[in-house]
Structures are given as C-alpha cells and as structure tokens.
Amino acid sequence: MNSKMKTCLVLSGALLFSAVAMEAQRYGPDGPPFGAPMELMGFEGMHGGKVIKGAAFSATATSETTETLQDGSAIHRSSQVTMYRDSQGRSRHEVTLSGVGPLTASGAPKTMISISDPVAGVHIMLDNDKKVAHKSAIRQPGGNGSSTGTDSAANFESRMQEREQKDIAAGLLKKESLGTQTISGLVAEGTRTTRTIPAGQIGNEKALQIVSERWVSTDLQILLKSTRTDPRTGTTTYTVTSVQRTEPAASLFTVPADYTVQAGDPEPGGRGGRPGPPPVD
C-alpha cells in the first residue's frame, strides 16, 4: 500500500470521528484545510460545536466531487449521507463513501456510522463489519486549569475569526450575502465566500480563487446546499434531497444489543482502538 493510500485511510477514519465530536468549526471560514474531501465525506451537513434542541428531523443528502485531470479525463467521487437529530439534540450520521481510497479490501463503498449524544455525554462510532462500538466521553472544559473540548474549540474559532478579518482587510477574502431561498421546503440563507491565494504563495504562477456557496436552514440550522469550486481539487456539490420533521426512533442513538463496546476512539485504518477518555457507562 503506497503512502497516498495510507493517508486516505487515516483521514477517512480520523476525520469522521473528529467531525462527529462537534469540532467542525475549527476548520475556519472557508472550510477545512482538506477542502472538498471533507465535504465529500458528508461532514458539510454537520453543525459544528452546537447542541440543537427542539428541532428534530431526518434527512438524506448527496455529495459529489468532479476533478478534471490534465489529459481531460475526470475523477468522480461521491458520498450518500443520512442524518438524524432528535428533540434532545442527539444526532446520528451515516456516511457511505465511494471512490475515496481503499476503504475496504474489495474497494467497495464503505459506510461509517457515528452518534453524538450530549444527553449521556458520549460519542459513539459503530463498526458494522466487526460489530464493535467505539465509545468515548464528550470532553468538557477541564477543572484542572487546562482548556479542553469546548474551550479549545472556542479559542480556535476566535483565532480563525481574527484571521478572517485580516484576510478581508488584505483583499484575500470576500463574503457576500445571497439572500434567501426555499430548499427542500425550508427557508435557507445563502452566503458566497471567495478566497484568493496570491501568485507564488504555494508555487502557483497565477492567483487562484476558491469560491464557496452555502445555504443554511434558519430553522433547523443545518446546511441544505453547497457548491465549492477549487482549481486544485475540482468542484464539490452537497445537496439535501429530503427532510422529514418527525422525531427519529430512540434506538438510532443507542448501541445495538449485539455490539461489543470498546472505550476510546477507533484507530485510523481500522486496526483496533487507541486509548481515549475513561470508559463510560
């Protein structure tokens, strides 16, 4: 297995769990440093850093990336996403990836399931193949003088906002409102962000522009539609295809009875678990 394939395995596992840990906002104003791959993995639909109560729903979404190579051929990658959130703020994401590295020995699509339960204070990642549930505590601000969890995320968000303002002042970032429109029966507010990478900054001969459009539901506070065009990685679109405003089954947010529970986060690449927070009941 070459280094690029190994990297894809590490990212697909580690990034999913970190996103479910409600730290998606740490990636800044124009999305994560991995750009389109994060959107492709279905992370775009997650609302980072907040527990949303009293707004239960179920939804499905699709994400597609098209990258055009120098010879004119194209690479297509896609993911299918199913999302659930109950009125208590518990959430479940099921992401089926295809065309994103050797996720299985056969190269077949791989489904990853993650659950965030702020009521019980745990994160759960289900391994359907091994019938294992990796369970760890949601980190809270520590009482030992150090800042972890939400404190750390808030500090990072503050730094990213400072960076955003500097980029706007330097003419490297432009944000504009697109008004509102109805998507999947929900009112959504749109924002277009244009980030400029000056010539020579990453070895580029000419300035590059990354353009992102995002439409967020003002009611459910979830992303309903996005388009990201990056000359380095191609175009990625994310679209919620259906939304149901009903309370999901409570069983969706629990570990199945036939699963073995392991404490700690799953190790990237599926080679077992790595030490995590103390076991949770």
Three-state SS for the chain is: CCHHHHHHHHHHHHHHHHHHCCCHHHHCCCCCCCCHHHHHCCHHHCCCCCCCCCCCEEEEEEEEEEEECCCCCEEEEEEEEEEEECCCCCEEEEEEEECCCCCCCCCCCEEEEEEEECCCCEEEEEECCCCEEEEEECCCCCCCCCCCCHHHHHHHHHHHHHHHHHHHHCCCEEEEEEEEEEECCEEEEEEEEEEEECCCCCCCCCCEEEEEEEEEECCCCCEEEEEEEECCCEEEEEEEEEEECCCCCHHHHCCCCCCEEEECCECCCCCCECCCCCCCC
How many structural domains compose the chain?
Answer: 1
The residue written with tokens 């091994």 in the block is 130
In a domain, 89, yes or no: yes
Residues in the chain, pLDDT under 70: 1-49, 99-107, 139-154, 265-281
Q: What is the pLDDT of residues 33-44, one digit of tens each?
A: 334 444 444 445
In a domain, 226, yes or no: no
How far is CA 271 from each of CA 117, 267, 275, rounded to the nearest angstrom? 25, 6, 13
In a domain, 196, yes or no: no
State the pLDDT at residue 33: 38
Which residues, in sequence order, are CB contacts of 39 under 8 Å at separation 6+? 31, 63, 65, 226, 228, 236, 238
Q: Domain limits at 132?
A: 3-170+239-263
State the pLDDT at residue 233: 87
In a domain, 206, yes or no: no
In a domain, 280, yes or no: no
In a domain, 19, yes or no: yes
In a domain, 272, yes or no: no
State the pLDDT at residue 135: 93
What is the pTM (predicted TM-score) of this model? 0.73
